[in-house]
Every structure is written in C-alpha cells, then in structure tokens.
Structure 1
Amino acid sequence: MATADTMLQTALREPARRLTLDLRAVTFFDSAAIHAVVRVAERFPGTLAVLPSRQVRRVLEISGLASQDWFDPS
C-alpha cells in the first residue's frame, strides 16, 4: 500500500509507448497495488506488460486478472 501510489504516479507521469512493470521482486501485493496496476493498464491499453513474482501472480489469479493481456506469467 505504501508504494502502490508511487508506482502509479510514476507510471502515469512518464510518456511511453510501451510500459513494463517488473514486479518479480514484490513479496506483498494488496488491493491498492491491484488498483494501481488496473489504472496503469487503462492508461496503456495493449502496451502494458506486467512481470509478476509468485506472490503477485497468485493475487492476480485469485482476483481474476491473470487472463488480462498485460499479464505475462513467463
């Protein structure tokens, strides 16, 4: 929760054609982080890639978001 808003503001501030959120080192992912990722996905439709850690992958699977085109489980 402490860093979700910082991630969101940074991602939305930077002009980019493609955006990759490398979350492979993230060990805690809560509803604030889910909200931030969804907001970034809305801003970068079809051009976002989220690289999840095991914990992030699990939360996105439980929340039903693992089927989104931006989810990159590899």
Structure 2
Amino acid sequence: MDHEDPDSYFAATTEVEGDHLRVVVSGEVDLSTADSMVRAATLDGARRLTLDLRTVTFFDSAAVQAVVRLAERFPSRLDVLPSRQVRRVLDISGLGEQPWIRPT
C-alpha cells in the first residue's frame, strides 16, 4: 500500500493455515497504515493470529492502538513478533510485559 509520503513504505501480507492467520508487516505502521494492518489481520474465519512485525521500521501510537484492538479481538490467541523498534515502543507505552509479545 502506498500513501502520500513517497519515502515511506508499508506492506502487509497474509498467510492462512486452517483457522490460523499469519500477517507479516513491513515498513512503517502509523496513522495512515494502522487500519490497513488491522484489516489484514481480521480476515473472516481466523481464530488465531500471528502478527509478525520483525521488519517494521516505524511504529507510532496509532499502531500501538491497533495492536491493542487486535489483542482484544484475539484474547489468548495472539502472538506478536516485534522488531527492535516495535519492542521499544511497546515497552515505552507500558505494554512490554503483555503475554502476547513473543521473543524474537
């Protein structure tokens, strides 16, 4: 998905295996892309979600809010694989100890 800043990049690809959805997100997750990430992660029929953020380079408060919404939608069925930048933002926002954050 392209948005207005020509220097920014965002992509979200999905893989489905039964009721398990894996979403691999790359680039910048911000106010203009966070909803796209949520839409990719909420395909019909998915009961378990792995959100792979290991190649995310920018993550703002809108992205944090989007992950919190996904955690509410997939209680006990969400795994988030953060990049170093994402992990830092989650730690700063007070979410660093959430059970859905997995070591990478």
Tell me the TM-score normalized by structure 2: 0.67
The equivalent residue for 2:54 is 24
- Runs of 4+ aligned residues of structure 1 deviating over 3 Å after TM superposition are none
> Is 1:11 aligned to 2:41, yes or no?
yes
Counting matched residue pairs gives: 74
Q: CA deviation at 1:47?
A: 0.5
Give the stretch that moved more between structures: 55-64 or 4-13: 4-13
Among the aligned pairs, what percent are the same residue? 68
Instruction: Tell me which of the two structures has the higher relative contact order, counting C-alpha pairs closer than 8 angstroms and 6 or more residues apart.
Output: 1
Work out the CA distance in 1 between the residues paired with 2:91 and 2:60. Answer: 13
The equivalent residue for 2:93 is 63
User: Gaps (5+ residues) in structure 2?
Assistant: 1-29
Aligned CA-pair RMSD:
1.1
Tell me the TM-score normalized by structure 1: 0.92
Q: CA deviation at 1:10?
A: 1.9
Work out the CA distance in 2 between the residues paired with 1:14 and 1:42. Answer: 16
CA contact (8 A) 1:57 1:66 kept: yes
Corresponding residue SS for 1:70: coil
User: Gaps (5+ residues) in structure 1?
Assistant: none
Counterpart of 1:43, as a letter, is R
